[in-house]
């Protein structure tokens, strides 16, 4: 089984030999589902992974360009037609229908021959260029060859239900971004993830890959049809925004919002944080249910934050004053640590040990005429003692320093005479 070229709608299209499956459909399905599940969905259960690897390499290396063949929906497909703007894209169609057939339904008529349907005008604007299927193929190849990293890890919530704020994502567009948000939540002890109308549906395997081990958050995430449905059990809700809003609501920094949530959670209330879509942020109507607006301190000339970055900042602020936070990871062989100098298993040197080292070093320097002129001795000694005291050496390190001094001043044969 291999990739072959067929003529479809006057275009050369890569398809799976012997099957009525366009290559891009195989790549997209394997990208969104576990590979074996994807193959079963496509009726390709009997294909072995080595053959699949060869097929994916064809897409990943963009071998289609050498054969002047492209998949519908791929960015290369429009490039081959010299379509570089949305106006040219619309002109290539006879009809583009927008909406779900209800009151919001709209039709764009053009001089072309093709017909297309999209869920919304916003979707059209964001997706008309097509997908980079060759990039997706590379990711599927990594998954095929190495497996999903840490897919076996389940993890467990950091706190009991309601003991930390819920994260609510409004219309997240990319499953990868959802996964990165989950990863940021796992880093900082936020467990509850809720979504309002995720664009690519839910559940979505790509989010699990991007979560990089925060699987318990992905597994527990819920999808809702409206903001009201997603927040109905919460007592207090804040919403992050970079834009000033004409709303009579308190404006808080992350620190102030987290302090308010800690106070309320301590009283038994449930709290949440709203985050808007990646491209446009929240609409004013999305903010109606929020009790306060949160504005993160940023460069006011470049205020837009990546979705996962915004979640991470709020999570970091939440964890900052938490009693169970840890600097870095803690494992079976690594204990929690605090800020400051960590002496591990060695204790700081006592003053007696330090003074003994100073006297040893100064005696050897005296013997070799280092303090010249003599009246500078007091200042140089003071500087040396300050230097080593500031370093806060351990007892083991002081013994090592004395061994170095002894070795440097010891002549061959075991005497302390130096060579002339």
Own/partner contacts of 158-162, CB < 8 Å, gap of 24 or more, are 158/189, 158/190, 158/191, 158/324, 159/189, 159/191, 161/192, 162/265, 162/268, 162/270
Contacts of 277 (CB under 8 A, 6+ apart): 170, 171, 172, 173
Instruction: Identify the CA nearest to 70 among candidates 137, 139, 133.
Output: 133
Whole-angstrom CA distances from 220 to 92, 186, 187, 196 are: 43, 12, 16, 15
- Per-residue pLDDT tens for 161-192? 889 999 999 999 888 999 999 999 999 999 99
Six token digits for residue 264: 């309320």
Cis peptide before 166 (omega within 30 of 0): no
Counts for the chain of helices (H) and strands (E), in that order: 16, 12
Kindly report the three-state secondary structure assignment for every residue of 101-119.
Answer: CCCCCEEEECCCCEEEEEC
Q: From the CB of residue 311, how many other CB atoms can be counted at a distance below 10 Å?
A: 27
The pLDDT profile of the chain, 420 residues, written as one tens digit per residue, is: 789 898 887 789 999 988 889 999 999 998 888 888 889 899 888 888 888 999 999 999 999 988 899 998 898 888 888 888 888 888 888 888 887 655 556 777 778 777 887 777 777 777 778 888 998 899 888 878 766 555 555 677 788 888 999 999 999 988 899 999 999 999 999 999 999 999 988 888 788 878 888 889 998 999 999 999 999 999 999 999 888 887 889 999 999 999 999 999 999 999 999 999 987 778 888 888 999 999 999 898 888 889 999 999 999 999 987 765 566 666 656 666 666 666 666 788 999 999 999 999 999 999 999 998 888 899 999 999 999 999 889 999 999 999 999 999 886 444 554 443
Tell which CATH classification among 3.40.30.10, 3.40.1280.10, 3.40.50.2000, 3.90.180.10 matches the domain 166-320: 3.40.1280.10
Six token digits for residue 320: 């900052």
Does domain 351-409 fall under CATH 1.10.8? My reply is yes
- Per-residue pLDDT tens for 262-290? 999 999 999 999 999 987 778 888 888 99
């Amino acid at each position: 089984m291999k990739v072959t070229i067929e003529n479809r709608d006057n275009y050369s299209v890569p398809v799976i030999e012997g099957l009525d499956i366009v290559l891009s459909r195989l790549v997209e399905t394997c990208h969104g589902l576990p590979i074996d599940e994807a193959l079963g969905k496509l009726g390709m259960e009997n294909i072995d992974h080595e053959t699949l690897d060869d097929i994916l390499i064809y897409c990943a290396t963009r071998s289609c360009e050498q054969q002047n063949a492209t998949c519908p929906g791929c960015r290369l497909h429009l490039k081959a037609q010299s379509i570089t703007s949305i106006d040219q894209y619309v002109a290539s169609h006879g009809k583009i229908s927008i909406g779900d057939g209800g009151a919001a339904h709209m039709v764009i008529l053009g001089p072309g021959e093709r017909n297309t349907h999209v869920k919304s005008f916003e979707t059209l604007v964001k997706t008309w260029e097509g997908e980079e299927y060759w990039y997706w193929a590379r990711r599927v190849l990594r998954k095929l060859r190495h497996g999903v990293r840490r897919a076996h890890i389940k993890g467990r919530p950091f706190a009991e239900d309601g003991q930390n704020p819920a994260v609510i994502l409004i219309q997240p567009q990319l499953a990868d971004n959802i996964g990165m948000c989950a990863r940021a939540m796992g880093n900082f002890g936020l467990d509850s993830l809720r979504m309002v109308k995720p664009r690519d549906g839910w559940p979505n395997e790509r989010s699990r890959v991007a979560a990089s081990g925060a699987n318990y958050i992905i597994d527990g995430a819920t999808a809702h049809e409206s903001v009201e449905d997603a927040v109905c059990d919460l007592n207090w809700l804040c919403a992050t925004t970079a834009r000033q809003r004409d709303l009579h609501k308190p404006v808080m920094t992350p620190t102030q919002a987290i302090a308010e949530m800690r106070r309320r959670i301590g009283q038994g209330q449930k709290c949440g944080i709203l985050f808007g879509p990646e491209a446009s942020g929240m609409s004013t109507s999305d903010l109606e249910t929020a009790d306060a607006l949160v504005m993160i301190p940023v460069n006011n000339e470049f205020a837009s934050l990546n979705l996962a970055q915004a979640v991470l900042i709020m999570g970091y602020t939440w964890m900052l004053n938490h009693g169970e936070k840890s600097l870095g990871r803690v494992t079976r062989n690594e204990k929690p640590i605090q800020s400051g100098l960590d002496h591990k298993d060695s204790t700081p040197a006592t003053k007696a040990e330090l003074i003994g080292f100073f006297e040893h070093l100064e005696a050897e320097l005296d013997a070799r005429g280092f303090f010249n002129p003599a009246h500078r001795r007091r200042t140089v000694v003071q500087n040396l003692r300050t230097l080593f005291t500031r370093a806060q050496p351990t007892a083991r390190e002081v013994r090592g320093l004395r061994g170095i001094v002894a070795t440097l001043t010891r002549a061959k044969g075991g005497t302390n005479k130096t060579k002339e």
